Structure 1
Amino acid sequence: MKRKQCTFASLLLLMVVAAIACGNKSNASGTEENKDKTESVNVPAFNADSAYAYVQIQANFGPRVPNTAAHRACGDYLAAKLEQLGAKVYNQYADLVAYDNTILKARNIIGAYNPDSRRRVLLFAHWDSRPYADEDKDKSKHKTPILGVNDGASGVGVLLEVARQLQRQAPAIGIDIIFFDAEDYGTPTFHKGPYKPDTWCLGSQYWGRVPHVDNYNARFGILLDMVGGKNATFYQELFSKRTAGKQVKKIWDAAHRLGFEAFFPKEDGTEVTDDHLYVYNLRKIPCVDIINYDPKCDTGFGDFWHTTDDTMDVIDKNTLMAVGQTVLEVIYNEK
C-alpha cells in the first residue's frame, strides 16, 4: 500500500480481553418485560496462538512474490486451508500488468461461508509480499524481496483463525474471506521511468471489475493490513471515514467495549491507497481499513515497513488478539 498523508500521536499498549453480552431488559415500572428484547450473542474466543501459527506458516514459504515458486506453493496452501476450514473456495487466476509491464501470474483466493445468504460481510487482506525492500536504509537491499510478515501475512493469519471459528460456529450472516494478490507490486521508490497510475492493489482492482460471483455485493467490508506488529495502533483511516463512517464507528466501538482502546484510538489517522479503495470505487461496498500507523517514523508504517526486517520478530500475539477478537465481535453481532 502507499501512504498519502499522516498526523497523530502514539498511545501506550494495553490488552484486555472481555466478553460482551446483551441481556433482556425490563421496563421502568418493572411490571412488564420489554418487548424489544436483545438476544445474547455468543461470540467465539479468538485464538492468538493459532493466528500466530498461520502467520509463521506463510513466512516459512519465504517471500510470496508473484511468479515465484514460493508464491505458487503458498497460494495452494491458502486455498486448501480455506477449504479444510469449511469454506466454498473460488480461485481467481489472472495475468496482471505491473508498473514495469511485467506480467504477473496472480491469484485471488476467495472463501465463502453460508454462500446462499444475501446478507453478507466481506473480510479481506493481501497475501503477496513486496518484491523490493525499497525503504531499507541499506540501498544495496532495495531490490531484495521482503518476507512481508506484518505487511501481508499478519492479516491473512488473522483471517484464517476467523475462518476456523466460522467453521465451528456459523454466524447469522454470510461471510466472504478474500486473499487479494499483487497488492504490493507497486512502483518502487528507485523507479526512474514514467509515472503509471494505479500500480498498487492489482488483485483487488481485477476482482472489483470481475468479482467471483456475478453482481456480488456485501453490506460492508473490513480490510486487515499490517495487523500484527508490536505496539501497533490502528487510527481511523481517512478514506474509510469518508466512505464507511458508520462501519468505522461500529468497529472502533466494538474494540473499546472489549478493552482494546489503546490499539484502536478514536482519532483520525492517515489516508492510504489500499485494497479497500478499489473495492469501494469499483463495487460500491463501504470498507474499513484496519491498518497500523506509526507516527514515530518517516514512512508512518514502522521502521521495518518495506524492508528486510519485516520478519516474525515484529509480530506480537497481543496485537493479533486485539484485531481478531474485534472482527469476531463485529461479524457475530451483525444480523
Structure 2
Amino acid sequence: MLGGTEFVGRAITEEAVDLGWDVTVFHRGRHAPPPGTSALHGDRTAPDGLAALADGEWDVVVDTWSGAPTAVRDSARLLADRAGRYAYISSRSVYAYPAPARLAEDSPLVDGSPDAGATAYPEDKRGGELAVLEAFDGRALLVRAGVILGPYENVGRLPWWLNRAARGGPMLAPGPCDLPIQYIDVRDLARWTLAAALAGHGGAYDLVSPPGHTTMAGLLEACVSVTGGRAELRWTDPDRIVEAGIEPWTDLPVWLPPGELQEYMFGSDVTKALATGLHCRPVEETVADTWAWLSSLGGIAPQRPDRPAKGVTPEQEAALLGL
C-alpha cells in the first residue's frame, strides 16, 4: 500500500488486514499505520525517496496518489517487475467536460502525461493512469472513484454536514430535495478494489453508487436523524442559494444545482463495476458510521492541507433563511 495511513489508503489497508493479507505500508511516517501491517518509510517527492522499495515482491500494489504524475510513474516503473498487479485509485474527474449523459468508462478523457509535474487534479489523475498503464500494461486496474464518503474522511464533506446537523435549529437544505447524488463509501471502495485486483480485473472502472441509490434528502435526513434530530431542514430553491453568493460544492458540500455539471458529477453508468461485484451499503449506514467516528474525535475531523475547508458560514445561512 503506497500511503495507507489516511482516509482511502487507510480503509483499503484495514480491509486487506481483515482479509488476512500480509500488508506492507509505504509512507512518510507522519501518521501511524493501521495495526497488523509492516511499515516502510519514504517520501515519493524527494530524491531517492523510493529507496525503501528497492527490494521485495508483492502480489498487489495499491496507490492513491493525487499529485504530480511523475510520482506514480517512478513507483510503477520501480515495481513493475516485482509486483503482480497495480491498482491506481483515480477519479471520475478524468472525463472531459462537458460530457455526454450517463458517463461510462469509454467516455472522452482529459489530456494527461505520466511525465508531468503537478498541474490540475483531472490532468494529474489522468497522468497517473497513463503511468500505471505504461508500466503494468494488462496488469493495471484503474479505479475511477466519484465522491468518496465515510469514516476517516479528511476532505470535509460529510463531517461538515454532520456537525451542522448536530448544532440543530433551522438548517439550510439545498434543493430540490429529490436531487439524485452518487458517491462511494470508502469501505465499499476498499472491498471492491481488493476483490477486483485478486480476481485479475484490469482496465478502468467507474466506482460510485448506482443511479437511484440516494438523494440530497436521503443524505441530509440521515445526518439529522443520527445526530439527534435537533436540526430542521429548510429546503431552499437552488436559484436563491446561488444568488446569495453561496458556492455549490464548497459552501454546501456534495450539492450541485440541477444542470449540466450536476449531471456530469452524478450521472455515472456503473454497469461495469456492478457486474464485477460492487455493493454499496445504504446511505444511513455510511452516515451513522461516519458520525460514530467523528464523535470519537470530539467532532473535529482531520483536514487535508491541500483541500479548502468546506461549509457555509452561520451568517450566510441565517441571512438566506431570514433568521
Fold similarity call, TM over 0.5 = no
Ranked by relative contact order (alpha carbons within 8 Å, sequence separation 6 or more), the top structure is 1
- Normalized per residue, the structure richer in helix is 2
